[in-house]
């Protein structure tokens, strides 16, 4: 319909995208063969059939297993370039891409290899398509804070070489029982170093985790944050401070955070004046990139054109791009 056409062409910024979560089954299969890595699947169809998640952990198990095919700089380049192509097709103009070094260093892949492959693709996309991007290094919260400190230490020598891209740190993986405050020291260090800060909070975890992400970690955006609705005082604070929430509707549906998209609180939070954005999270696993997330939300929640434009604008506004760049978009 024309509503869908309007969405497809609407310029967008994506602020919550795990590059490892953009690994499509076809590329996973091809890289497994190229690298002689054995996958627990006989075919691409079998991979897709396995994507029936009950919660965040049931997804993370397959996400980490799938990432095992990523070994070389070329693999990370191919992965990132495949995402860029999908983003360009969805009228995405800017991405702040999450990556998880610990998922790779644990398998003997160096931090340098990960940076180099992702950065080569993003720089080429900038050159060839004017595609704007940055990289946000995420710590895995199911691991220790010492491990996160070590991860930051291994990446810091690369900071200058990737100064045009790497501008933030984040926190992802299994949320429940791994509260933000577990990472207070490494976030304080990153803050002193001048990095932008974000954290997943209130996806499966309680509103208290959103509070501690804000008050202890001092993050500038909340990734997901959908459980904020259980805490009216927190909702007021998020509205008043215009703290951005990077909401991922199809992710929430696939991970059973909501039973049906029509029950999603994205529209309620937007209408309550919060700075809500729409993002794809792990598009290869959750059934869609940016346009699919916008269209599914618009259809399920009756989003008006004015609201769709607001959601897209919020993405640019909440980005870490330079003010001059934001002016050109907004
Ligand atoms: N890693 C990749 N996707 C994630 C999500 N939605 N929540 C937590 N960790 C993740
Ligand atoms: Zn995420």
Compute the average pLDDT of residues 74-94.
98
- Give the catalytic positions in this structure: 203
pLDDT of residue 136 exceeding 80, the answer is yes
Rounded to whole angstroms, the Cα distance separating 303 from 290 reads: 15
- Asked if 319 contacts 15 with a C-beta cutoff of 8 angstroms, the reply is yes
DSSP string computed for 65-82: HHGGG--SHHHHHHHHHH
Is the residue at 330 inside a domain? no
Is the residue at 81 inside a domain? yes
- Asked if 45 contacts 24 with a C-beta cutoff of 8 angstroms, the reply is no
Is the residue at 8 inside a domain? yes
Is the residue at 300 inside a domain? yes
| Residue 265, ligand 1, Cβ within 6 A | no
Rounded to whole angstroms, the Cα distance separating 144 from 217 reads: 16
Is the residue at 303 inside a domain? yes
The residues placing their C-beta within 5 Å of ligand 2, an ion, are 281
- Asked if 295 contacts 2 with a C-beta cutoff of 8 angstroms, the reply is no
* For the chain, percent of residues with pLDDT exceeding 90: 99
| Residue 246, ligand 1, Cβ within 6 A | no
What are 72's two structure tokens?
Answer: 């070389």
Count of domains forming the chain: 1
Atom of ligand 1 lying closest to residue 172 CA = 9
Q: Going by CA atoms, what residue is nearest to atom 6 of ligand 1?
A: 281
Question: What pTM value is reported for the model?
Answer: 0.98
Beta strand residue intervals within 115-195, DSSP E: 132-140, 166-172
At 85-133, the pLDDT tens digits run 999 999 999 999 999 999 999 999 999 999 999 999 999 999 999 999 9
| Residue 204, ligand 1, Cβ within 6 A | no
Is the residue at 12 inside a domain? yes
pLDDT of residue 1 exceeding 90, the answer is no
**Which ligand sits closest to the CA of 255?**
1
Is the residue at 329 inside a domain? no
318 band by pLDDT with thresholds 50, 70 and 90: very high
Is the residue at 328 inside a domain? no
Looking up residue 51, the CATH number of its domain turns out to be: 3.20.20.140
| Structural domain containing residue 295 | 2-323
Compute the average pLDDT of residues 50-73.
97
């Amino acid at each position: 319909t024309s509503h869908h056409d309007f969405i497809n062409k609407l310029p967008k910024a994506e602020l919550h995208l795990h590059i490892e979560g953009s690994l499509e089954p076809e590329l996973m299969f091809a890289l497994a063969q190229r690298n002689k890595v054995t996958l627990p699947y006989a075919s691409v169809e079998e991979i897709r059939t396995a994507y029936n998640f009950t919660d965040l952990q049931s997804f993370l198990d397959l996400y980490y297993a799938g990432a095992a095919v990523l070994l070389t700089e070329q693999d990370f380049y191919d992965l990132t370039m495949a995402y860029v192509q999908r983003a360009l097709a969805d009228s995405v103009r800017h991405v702040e891409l999450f990556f998880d070094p610990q998922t790779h260093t644990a398998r003997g892949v160096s931090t340098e290899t990960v940076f180099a492959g992702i950065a080569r693709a993003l720089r080429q996309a900038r050159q060839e398509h004017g595609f704007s991007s940055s990289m946000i290094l995420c710590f895995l919260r199911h691991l220790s804070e010492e491990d996160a400190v070590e991860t930051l230490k291994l990446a810091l020598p690369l900071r200058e070489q990737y100064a045009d891209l790497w501008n933030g740190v984040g926190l992802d993986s299994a949320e429940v029982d791994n509260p933000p405050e577990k990472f207070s020291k490494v976030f304080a260090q990153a803050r002193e170093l001048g990095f932008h800060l974000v954290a997943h909070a209130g996806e499966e975890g309680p509103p208290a985790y959103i509070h501690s992400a804000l008050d202890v970690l001092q993050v500038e955006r909340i990734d997901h944050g959908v459980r904020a609705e259980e805490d009216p005082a927190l909702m007021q604070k998020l509205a008043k401070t215009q703290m951005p929430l990077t909401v991922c509707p199809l992710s929430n549906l696939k991970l059973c955070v909501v039973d049906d998209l029509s029950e999603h609180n994205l529209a309620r939070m937007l209408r309550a004046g919060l700075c809500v954005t729409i993002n794809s999270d792990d598009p290869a696993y959750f059934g869609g990139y940016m346009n699919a997330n916008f269209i599914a939300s618009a259809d399920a929640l009756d989003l008006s054109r004015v609201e769709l434009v607001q959601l897209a604008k919020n993405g640019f506004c909440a980005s870490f791009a330079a003010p001059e760049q934001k002016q050109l978009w907004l």
